[in-house]
Structure 1
Amino acid sequence: MKQGRFILEPERFCVWQEVKVMNSFPQRLVGMLMQGGLPRGQAYWFPSCTAVHSWGMQFAMDIVGLDAQQRIVAVRRNVQPGVMIRLRGTRSIIECESGFPYPLEQWCGRQLHFEEHEVDYAVE
């Protein structure tokens, strides 16, 4: 699974330190269903996505929509389990824990940059 982090430009401020990229159909279908929550600073990124669901989820989440240039165009806070959200004007979606502490709504129009990093699966 591809992983990395999202940086707010131009300050180079790290918004999410650990981002899992959900590209495959099984990853997208399951998403965060098996989790009881998300640690602070962790997020899931769904490239080429305009809608998400929270059916079967056990916790609320914040949803951030990005346009083709990865600018923040929509923010939905405290999305409860059992709903479907479609975000107009988005090309990809980030899901993170509900109550994310940064002013995402104030950053609408600001660009995020994804920095991929290698994942070490070796057991030590």
Structure 2
Amino acid sequence: MGSEQEEKAAKWEMVENLRKFNKRLAEVRIQMKDLGELLIRFAMVLKEPDSYVFDVTDKDISVGKYQMPITNPVVEIGAADLKWEEMACLVEEYQEIANNIRTWKAQLNLPK
């Protein structure tokens, strides 16, 4: 009887971990989406630079339409947004969490 209770407890723990990891996965997806949208906007500006003005500092780049100072930036991208190590960690965390979730769902016989 103890082994059945231990098995139920182990499954319950897996379900709780699955909930926590699903929550974290959603947070990571939002971070990745936000970064992707920022990079897309910046890439669009870089493709047509003649249509914009740039205010470049050592900490960020602000992009506006036609006039300085830039009061309503089209896009602002900072050095912190482009830290390769942080982007790599974010993607790596996403992969690890997604793999763990797939494994746990398989062990719990849940749909993918």
TM-score range, shorter chain: under 0.3
Which of the pair is proportionally richer in strand? 1
Q: TM-score, normalised by structure 2?
A: 0.21
Which of the pair is proportionally richer in helix? 2
Higher alpha-carbon Rg: 2
